[in-house]
Amino acid sequence: MAHPNLNNPTNVEGLSLAAAVGTAATTIVSNGTASSATIRVVSMYVANTDGSSACDVTVKLATGTNAWSIASTVSVPADATVEVISGRPLYLKEGDDLTATASAAGDLEAVVSYERIT
């Protein structure tokens, strides 16, 4: 496991991705165990596409066999968006994942902006 020097990185690649959030833990961003990178999550938004019902979201940092709550059972109102990560970054080292779980199927979508640092 090699961690890049965050004060003097070789490369910083800005990326965004979107994913549907399922009722089982859904990996939103993954930093592979042999990536030789650190991922800096800059922002995460969760949108509820259901026009009539709120839906709960739980977001966790998964580190090997442990998962730590970032947001636990946060209600996302119908046709609304919640900022889960904003203003202060979250770093994923090799082997870490950012996961999300919805209380209802087909209601939530997550959008994440992050930097892959090598």
Q: pLDDT (tens digit, 0 to 9) for every residue of the chain, 118 residues total?
A: 566 767 777 889 999 999 999 999 999 999 999 999 999 999 999 999 999 999 999 999 999 899 999 999 999 999 999 999 999 999 999 999 999 999 999 999 999 999 999 9
Q: Give the β-pairing of 81-85 and 38-48.
A: antiparallel
pLDDT of the residue at 49: 98
Q: Given this model, what pLDDT does residue 3 score? A: 67
CA 118 distance to own-chain centroid = 19
CA angle, corner 14, sides to 12 and 18, nearest 5?
145
Position 7 scores a pLDDT of 72
**Per-residue pLDDT at 5:** 67
Coil, helix or strand at residue 45: strand
pLDDT at 113: 98
Q: Which one-letter amino acid corresponds to residue 83?
A: E
Q: What is the per-residue pLDDT for 1?
A: 55
CATH code that applies to domain 17-117:
2.60.120
